[in-house]
Amino acid sequence: MAQPAMTERILNAEMNLTREITEDAGDITDDDLNEVTELVAYEYDPLRETAAPLSPRIGLCLQLQTLYLACCSHIPPEITNCQCLKSLTLYNCEGLIELPQGIVLEGLKTVSLHCGTWNEDNVKTMLTWLASCCPNLIAISFVGHTRVTARIFMEGLLQNKSFRDKFKDKLFCLNFSKCNLTEEDASYVIFNIVQPFFTRLSGLSLSQNDIQSIQSLGKSARNLTKTRYGPITSNLRCLYIQENPVFGNLKSPETTDHNVAVCLVKSFPKLYVFSGIEHYLQVSSIINYQAMINLSELRYLLEDGNNSDGHGTRLSIWPYVIHRVYKSTDKDPNSIYSLLREGPVIKDR
């Protein structure tokens, strides 16, 4: 039997169904496609070793929420029918030059671009398309790229005015994981892109890179900070740097990187997370103490110099800090460990 030129794999979570179909397959009905909520599609002819067109039948997946495309040459315009689509992942799609114009994907919230060799033109085209067709985008990921390609994406975010203007108040998450980024790159994306242009961004992932130190981040923060806690107005709450060489230094108060992390937490008024899972156990209690004060959103009261313990911490407000942090972390007792250990009531600070 001849190998089909185009293969689409349909995954339906509700039916726990995995089936492979071709354009002329008769066992997959329109009703079947209408029930699909997750689709993994790849354009590849194993005999000719070339890409083949993605079927316009994707437009029949009216309940589709998650779409994963691999090695695709274009996205068919019929995707406009997939108004339930929330997440789009493109894997190794650097040749993706045909993007459907004049469509609007209102429900699309997350876009992930994985691997591949992107150039400046493709990046510009993609970011412009997202600004035009995906008005409610809140998260974008660039994962598994070379450092050179990641820098092209960074420059695209910096230079593409249509994307910046569209999402400056909407983009909440930015991901540059597994891109071989260095300390210089980390400083660049935070202080040249996030801080000036995406001040509503709350989550930035730089995990699984090659960041050896964060000392230049501290220097950049100090240059921006004219007063002790301003003028940085970023909404950055989570800076994921786990699985970088530098991360182990955040447990040891004797290291320079540890002191820089404390500086960053104080400089970014809402920053309280440096890693994903059980972050309060992966950094020192000193860093976590400062992070939890940010989480309480009461730093301005704690350190105004009035009614304090002699070190700038207002004792009268301390119970409110503990209560707000406890409540903000879904009553997780581990979250207040550092507050109790490093706080003014128990420890002479």
The residue extents of the domains of the chain are 1-108, 111-283, 295-349
What is the tens place of the pLDDT at every residue in 50-89? 555 677 888 888 999 999 888 777 788 999 999 999 999 9
Structure tokens at 236: 């950055």
Nearest-10 crossing angle of helices 120-133, 147-159: 50
> In b/e form, how buried is each residue of 57-84, taking b as 16+ CB within 10 angstroms?
bbbbbebbbbbbbbbbebbbebbbbbeb
Per-residue pLDDT, 295: 81
**N-to-C CA span, the chain:** 77
- What stretches in the chain show pLDDT beneath 70? 1-28, 43-53, 94-97, 225-233, 276-281, 300-320, 323, 325-349
Per DSSP (E only), the strands in 132-223 are: 139-143, 173-175, 203-205
Q: How many CA atoms lie within 13 A of 314 on its CB side?
A: 16
CB 307 within 8 A of CB 316: yes
Per-residue pLDDT, 314: 60
Per-residue pLDDT, 281: 54
- Residue 42: beta bridge partners? 7, 70
What is the tens place of the pLDDT at every residue in 104-138? 999 999 999 998 878 999 999 999 999 999 999 99
Per-residue pLDDT, 134: 95
Structure tokens at 25: 């397959």
Nearest-10 crossing angle of helices 256-267, 285-296: 0
Per-residue pLDDT, 37: 87
Structural Rg of the chain based on CA atoms: 24
- Which H or E run includes 185? helix 183-188
**Which distant-in-sequence residues (6+ apart) come within 8 Å of 232 by Cβ?**
195, 221, 224, 225, 267, 268, 269
Selecting from 3.80.10.10, 3.40.50.2300, 1.20.120.340, 3.50.50.60, what CATH number does the domain 111-283 have?
3.80.10.10
Per-residue pLDDT, 227: 45
